Amino acid sequence: MGNSKLKGKHLTEIGFAEGKAIGLALNATQKHYKSKSRAYKLAMLQNVLQHPEKYRDDDAFWQVATELISAREEVQEQLEYSLKATLPHYAVYGREHIDEGAIHQMNLAMKLPVAVAGALMPDAHHGYGLPIGGVLATKNAVIPYAVGVDIGCRMCLSIFDMSPEVLAKNTERYKEVLLSNTRFGNKDVFEKKMDHPILQHEAFAQIPFVKTLQNKAAAQIGTSGGGNHFAEFGEVQICDANNEFNLPTGRYLALLTHSGSRGLGVSIAQFYSQLAKDTCKLPEGARHLSWLDMATENGQEYWQAMNLAGDYASACHHQIHERVARQLGTPYVARVENHHNFAWKEQDANHNEVIVHRKGATPAGAGVLGIIPGSMTAAGFIVRGKGNRQSLQSAAHGAGRTMSRTKAKQSIEPKWLKNNLKEHKVTLLGGGLDEAPMAYKNIDQVMSCQTELVEVIGTFLPKIVRMEGRV
């Protein structure tokens, strides 16, 4: 008898949720199957749990089945959603430069029941969930895949009071500065790391899953990712005499970096994306757009973890720039930093709070500064936002791809890249064909499509580019 008695913990171990069904199940087995072994009872109850509809008329378990079915229907009523029947209007900038895959993904996102507004930037292209270059405002909901995997990926530009002529006069020295003060990819980290307060962020102590990532974050601090991430010296041309830096118009040496939140951000994105899919049931084609309700513990946890990842990405950039400035022996005189792959709490035109996701899109509120890069041989632009409401106060985050990485590797010949670099007098350290300028849209065309969104106050022309890969 001792081995046959059931307790509530036995039922939770086989999948029963805490609640009324457990008490009903214990009573039913005690009344009708008292002499049976515990294993027999558990096997029977597991079958009832998995197929309650088969036990609606069962003498022993009809009450258990009714409760399980009721609980299941209640959850489905709360969490299963349908898409809007009609497509709401949203602004598209540079439609002629955007592939159909990105349009389809944006249309799908706009049909979410939590979506209240959207916009598509001229650098947009197909991605996962929300397209790259997609901006989506939602009500009380955050969508991990609309933020993106590389949470808080950003640009950081430091301007030095030095002539850019030093790059041509002493190329070897500046190559060495980049090589010794940057690390790229998942395995190449600094042996002598710089400490940073971000590693003691409260989220590491408060969120159990995030706590498991603390050592990874500490190991990768100050490093950059692979793919399209880079660190490059170049020439800044300040063309707006009324610039926020109080710098005279003219040419300056500058360091531009592009990277995100490394393994920390990827892990957070994957974990909470799965939580969203598990709790928010959408039609198959829209599963990547599953959201977390901001009123739930999961939603609040993700929000805190996302902000941690964004601050961590910023810390990584600052350490790179600090290392470089130290070796150059001169501080920067101006800095521009902006990020994408993030969500912000903002107010819409009616002063209602919305969650604005910018996946591969730059914040462009009135007076907000940003840097929009081109490619390794094309100029980037220092911009000032105009606060356009139609674009949800957003702009492009770069040139945007015209080729997938696979297609670029298959179709671009090494000599084309070599000749392009030579023509533009750019030195490349690392990198690959998947990041060749030919794989990207024309940045001048992209910028011409968003004159309503930003104004240009300066340019950045790459000269020495460091990316992942052997030198």
Give the chain's count of helices (H) and strands (E).
16, 17
Tell me the C-alpha distance between 173 and 178, whole Å: 9
Compute and round to an integer the Cα radius of gyration of the chain. Answer: 27
Sheet of strand 353-359, all strands in order from the earlier edge strand to the far edge: 91-92, 115-125, 132-138, 353-359, 342-347
- List 235's β-bridge partners, or say none: 253, 461
Known catalytic residue at 397: yes
Q: What are phi and psi of 40, to 5 degrees?
A: -60, -45
Catalytic residue among 104, 201, 397, 424: 397
Handedness of CA 237, 239, 243, 246 (dihedral sign): positive
Measured CA to CA in angstroms, residue 230 lies from 168, 178, 185, 364 at distances of 20, 10, 11, 23
Measured CA to CA in angstroms, residue 350 lies from 4, 116, 363 at distances of 63, 12, 19
Tell me the C-alpha distance between 225 and 243, whole Å: 31
Is residue 334 within 8 Å of 245, Cβ to Cβ?
yes
Residues carrying an active site annotation: 397
